Each structure stands twice: as structure tokens, then as C-alpha cells.
């Protein structure tokens, strides 16, 4: 059964959306008045998500929020978010910064996957003979790619024997969020103490609006522009309608492809195609955007309004994904989950620390914290951390973070196929996991060879950079 075949009661849908909205509002209130959340810049959607997990039937039993239903929302919200990205402003910036960021991102995915697989195989061959090795492949999906992809892939593996795959994916994503914000802010404070920040900024430089999440001191930013006449149609309704058209096209294209696969007796590939629905949605959205650009009709799309739609999808996606975590499954696998998460966090830190000084010519610390935030949380996490050290986005770190993510998405598509290979192509065999481990290591070597050949990374820190850093370390704090 595909996620599109899941039966939902409309009453449950309405109540679920109502509850998730309530948790977001309560998260906003807690962020406004609790200094702990302000200190670590914890987003309202994460606060609301853990609040919902506490009051759900798994702990206090106050509200009934079924994890399977929430998983379906996460699945669809993921595709909608990618559609908005594709329909948004055309992206033509592919300089050294974004490309190096993309290579760093792909390297993190591979390292996280290798860590997960190695730990999983160790448990299998030592104390846990029936350990689900596929769990190791959920580490890069949850940490590096986010809750939507982690749930979608993990859930598709459940039909092949991996019990609770979707929920374990959400668990890794939730842990990643905690690492991104608590670890990220700690790293920034350490960087300020060591005087590594180019602009000598830090949490103390943030105004009260950013800390509390409520705009009171500054002028509110413009959400978007009206590209159509409101008396004819509400412009936001048009944007949402366009998103709906692209998603309908996505469904019918996937339905057609899977129908042909079934007729050709290739049913084993059907689940894979449905699990990659967000990639297909993105490709269709990019195509539609390009057609509108060529026909000079892209003025109908407002990037501001599209960003608001994307923000709504992400907020509900993150909150819903945390509430959906199955604590019974987490309790069963707490030891391997903890070990994988700790090792992945540490190696991700050191890998990005290494590449940030060798792949970029400037603003190494700002780029470092931004990529670290994204590789343990989401791109929003990375942008939040960059803003701490660069409140006005004067450095290219934030821009490269966005453009590099788009490049990494397309360059990393083979990696997504590879992560799915043990389940979908090697039928969950141990040999398939060893094959995947070897191919990921080969992928890493080839990636770094190409990166070095195009001249976008150095294997040593230039002496000029050392001199600059030594000088900056003598600069007194403002």
C-alpha cells in the first residue's frame, strides 16, 4: 500500500491540523517567555513538537494523535515543500562557494551513512543477531536530509521487513534538530571566545525580536507582493492553486510510471518510485517554472508568498514529525540510536571543520556553523546559526547555503538510489549492505578526487589564511 492509499477520516484530519496548530502557538508562547529557548534559539516548531509528544497518547494521553496519520502528513508536506522550492525564484548562481558547499554536504551524507552502517553491522555480528541493519542508512536521511525524507524512505522499507522504519527515521531527525541548535549555539560561543568569527558577533548581538520570536522592536518585514488583483482572485489562492496543479501532475506521472512497471512485472520498483515522489515533484515544478520564465509569465509567482507557503509546510512538517515519534520503538533501539547519533554528530563536526578552512576563501567560521546546522537539522537550522554570527547576512555564507543545497540535491541523487539499494534491489541481504558500504566509500573517494581536480579544495591550509587568522585573533572584542 502506498501513502496515497492510506484511509483518513476527515474528522481526524481536521483535529490533527487543529492540534498541530495549537502546539505551534504554544511553542511561540514558550519561546516568548522562556529564556532557555531564547538562549539556544530553539524554533517554535520544535518546541511545539516535543510538547505535542508529551500530551499525546504515548505519555499523558490528553490528545489522540496517531503516528501513522502524522506520517502521511509528513510524506505529503515534504513534496509540497520541494514544489515550492522549484516554483520559486530561478537560481543561476553556481560559483565556487555554492559548489564547495554542495561537495561538503554530499561528503557529510556519505560519512553519516558509513557511520550508521558500521555501527549497525557491529551490533549484528556481536550482541544482536537479528539487528535491522537498514537502521544505519537512516542516519544521513534523518540528520542530513531532514524528517520528511527520513520518514518517506524508512516507511517504504517497512514493507520489506524493517519494522518501524519511518518512526526511527523521524527519531534521527529529532535528535539532529537538538544537535543543530544546542550544539550549534555552543560551537558559536566557543568560536566567539576563540575570536574566529569575522564580524565579531554572537548571541549577545541579536535583538530581542530574534530571541523571543515576536517582532516588536523592529518594523515587520514584507511577507510578499500581490501579483494578481484581489477582486479577481486572492493572490495567495492562485499560488496555492499552482502548487496543487504541480502536485496533481506529480501523482499522475508516478501513477502512470508505476502502472507500466506493474504491467512489465517490475513490481519491486513500484515502492521506490513512490518514495522518490518529492524528487519528481521538484523536477516538474522546475519545469513549470522554466516554462513560465520562457513565456514571460513568471511574474504571476511571488517569491515572498511562496516562501510563506514553504514556511507553513515546514512548520507543520517538523512539529508533526516529532509528535509522530514512536517511543516504544525508540526504547527498543535506544543504544544503537544513541551511538549512531553521537558518532555521526562528532564526525560531521570534524569533517565540516576540516573542509570549511580548505574549500572556502573567506568567512570560514560562518560557513562552518551554517553547514553544520543544515547537516544535523535542516537548511532553516543552518540559516538560523549563520544569522547569529552574521545578523544582517553581510557574508555570502547564507546565500551559498541556499544555492549549494540545490546543487547537492541533483548531484546527490545517485546517493539516494544507493541508500535504497539494500532494501529495494538486494532484498535486505547482508551482502547488499556490505556492497553499499563499499560503494559509499568509493563514492566518497571519487567525490574528493573530482573536488580536488576542479581546484575547489586544498588539502592544506594556506599560510596566508593562517596569517589572517593569527591577526584576527589579536583583535579585541567589541
Bridge partners (DSSP) of residue 63 are: 56
Q: Is 283 in a helix, a strand, or coil?
A: helix
CB 433 within 8 A of CB 117: yes
Give helix 10-33 / helix 44-55 axis angle, nearest 10°: 120
The pLDDT of residue 204 is 60
Question: What per-residue confidence (pLDDT) applies to 201?
Answer: 57
Asked if residues 45 and 22 have their Cβ atoms less than 8 Å apart, the reply is no
- Give the single-character DSSP code of 268: G
Cell of 344: 555521526
* Residues 302 and 224 sit within 8 Å (Cβ to Cβ): yes
Query: How far, in Å, are 265, 394, 426 from residue 261 at the CA level?
Result: 6, 50, 18
Percent of the chain residues topping a pLDDT of 70: 92
| Cβ–Cβ under 8 Å, residues 99 and 456 | yes
* Whether the Cβ atoms of residue 160 and residue 428 lie closer than 8 Å to each other: yes
Q: What is the pLDDT of residues 92-114, one digit of tens each?
A: 555 678 889 999 999 999 999 99
How is residue 63 annotated by DSSP?
B
Among 41-55, 258-272, 393-407, the range of highest mean pLDDT: 41-55
SS3 428: coil
**What tens digit of pLDDT does each residue of 162-208 get?**
889 999 999 999 999 999 999 998 998 888 787 787 765 555 666 78
Can you tell me the distance from the alpha carbon of 342 to that of 350, in angstroms, rounded to the nearest whole number? 13
Residues in the chain: 478
Quote the DSSP letter at residue 56: B
The answer to whether the beta carbons of residues 351 and 344 sit under 8 Å apart is: no
Between CA 356 and CA 50 the distance in angstroms is 33
Residue keyed to cell 564580524: 199
Instruction: Name the band, by pLDDT with cuts 50, 70 and 90, for residue 425.
Output: confident
Over 50: is that where the pLDDT of 472 sits? no
CA distance 413 to 390: 31
pLDDT digits (tens, 9 = 90+) for 305-325: 998 998 899 899 999 999 999
175/373 Cα distance (integer angstroms) = 12
| Of residues 220 and 61, more confidently modeled | 61
What pLDDT, on a 0 to 100 scale, did the predictor assign at position 53?
94
Tell me the pLDDT tens digit for each residue of 342-399. Answer: 999 999 999 999 999 898 888 889 999 999 999 998 888 888 888 888 777 778 888 7
Q: How far apart, in whole angstroms, are the C-alpha atoms of residue 415 and residue 440?
A: 8
Mean pLDDT value of segment 238-245: 95
Q: DSSP class of residue 460?
A: S
Q: How far is CA 177 from the centre of its chain?
A: 9
Phi and psi of 136, rounded to 5°? -60, -30
Q: What ranges do the domains of the chain cover?
A: 3-206+233-472
State residue 279's pLDDT score.
Answer: 83
- The DSSP code for 94 is -
Question: Could you tell me if 118 and 339 are in contact, meaning their C-beta atoms sit under 8 angstroms apart?
Answer: no
- Report how far residue 20's alpha carbon sits from residue 42's, in angstroms, rounded to the nearest whole number: 17
Q: Which phi and psi angles does 287 have, rounded to 5°?
A: -65, -45
Q: How far apart are CA 453 and CA 459, in angstroms?
A: 12
In this prediction, residues 1-9 reach a mean pLDDT of 79
How far apart are alpha carbons 209 and 190 in whole angstroms? 24
Amino acid at each position: 500500500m502506498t501513502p496515497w492509499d492510506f484511509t483518513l477520516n476527515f474528522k481526524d484530519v481536521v483535529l490533527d491540523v487543529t492540534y498541530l496548530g495549537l502546539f505551534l502557538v504554544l511553542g511561540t508562547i514558550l519561546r516568548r517567555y522562556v529564556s532557555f529557548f531564547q538562549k539556544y534559539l530553539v524554533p517554535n516548531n520544535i518546541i511545539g513538537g516535543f510538547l505535542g509528544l508529551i500530551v499525546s497518547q504515548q505519555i499523558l494521553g490528553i490528545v489522540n494523535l496517531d503516528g501513522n496519520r502524522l506520517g502521511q502528513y509528513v510524506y505529503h508536506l515534504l513534496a509540497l515543500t520541494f514544489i515550492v522550492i522549484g516554483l520559486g525564484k530561478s537560481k543561476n548562481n553556481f560559483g565556487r562557494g555554492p559548489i564547495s558547499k554542495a561537495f561538503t554536504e554530499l561528503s557529510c551524507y556519505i560519512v553519516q551513512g558509513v557511520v550508521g552502517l558500521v555501527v549497525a553491522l557491529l551490533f549484528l555480528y556481536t550482541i544482536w543477531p537479528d539487528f535491522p541493519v537498514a537502521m544505519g542508512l537512516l542516519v544521513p536521511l534523518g540528520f542530513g536530509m531532514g524528517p520528511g525524507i527520513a520518514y518517506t524512505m524508512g516507511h517504504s522499507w517497512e514493507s520489506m521487513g524493517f519494522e518501524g522504519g519511518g518512526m526511527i527515521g523521524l527519531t534521527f531527525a529529532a535528535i539532529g534538530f537538538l544537535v543543530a541548535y544546542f550544539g550549534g549555539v555552543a560551537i558559536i560561543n566557543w568560536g566567539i571566545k576563540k575570536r574566529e568569527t569575522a564580524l565579531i558577533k554572537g548571541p549577545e548581538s541579536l535583538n530581542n525580536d530574534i530571541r523571543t520570536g515576536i517582532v516588536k522592536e523592529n518594523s515587520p518585514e514584507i511577507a510578499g507582493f500581490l501579483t494578481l488583483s484581489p477582486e479577481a482572485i486572492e493572490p495567495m489562492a492562485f499560488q496555492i492553486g499552482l502548487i496543487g496543479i504541480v502536485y496533481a501532475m506529480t501523482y499522475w506521472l508516478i501513477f502512470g510510471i508505476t502502472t507500466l512497471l506493474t504491467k512489465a512485472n517490475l513490481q519491486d520498483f513500484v515502492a521506490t518510485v513512490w518514495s522518490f515522489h518529492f524528487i519528481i515533484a521538484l523536477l516538474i515544478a522546475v519545469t513549470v517554472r522554466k516554462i513560465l520564465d520562457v513565456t514571460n509569465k513568471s511574474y504571476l509567482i511571488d517569491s515572498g508568498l511562496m516562501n510563506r507557503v514553504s514556511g507553513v509546510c515546514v512548520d507543520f512538517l517538523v512539529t508533526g514529525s516529532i509528535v509522530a515519534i514512536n517511543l516504544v520503538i525508540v526504547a527498543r533501539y535506544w543504544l544503537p540510536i544513541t551511538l549512531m547519533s553521537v558518532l555521526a554528530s562528532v564526525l560531521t563536526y570534524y569533517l565540516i571543520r576540516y573542509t570549511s578552512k580548505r574549500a572556502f576563501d573567506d568567512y570560514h567560521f560562518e560557513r562552518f556553523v551554517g553547514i553544520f546546522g543544515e547537516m544535523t537539522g535542516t537548511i532553516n537550522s543552518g540559516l538560523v546559526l549563520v544569522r547569529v554570527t552574521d545578523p544582517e547576512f553581510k557574508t555570502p555564507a547564507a546565500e551559498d547555503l541556499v544555492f549549494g543545497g540545490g546543487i547537492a540535491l541533483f548531484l546527490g541523487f545517485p546517493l539516494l538510489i544507493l541508500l535504497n539499494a539494500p532494501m529495494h534491489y538486494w532484498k535486505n541481504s547482508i551482502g547488499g549492505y556490505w556492497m553499499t558500504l563499499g560503494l559509499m566509500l568509493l563514492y566518497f573517494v571519487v567525490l574528493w578526487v573530482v573536488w580536488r581536480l576542479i581546484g575547489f579544495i586544498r588539502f592544506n591550509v594556506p599560510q596566508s589564511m593562517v596569517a589572517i587568522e593569527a591577526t584576527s585573533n589579536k583583535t579585541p572584542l567589541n
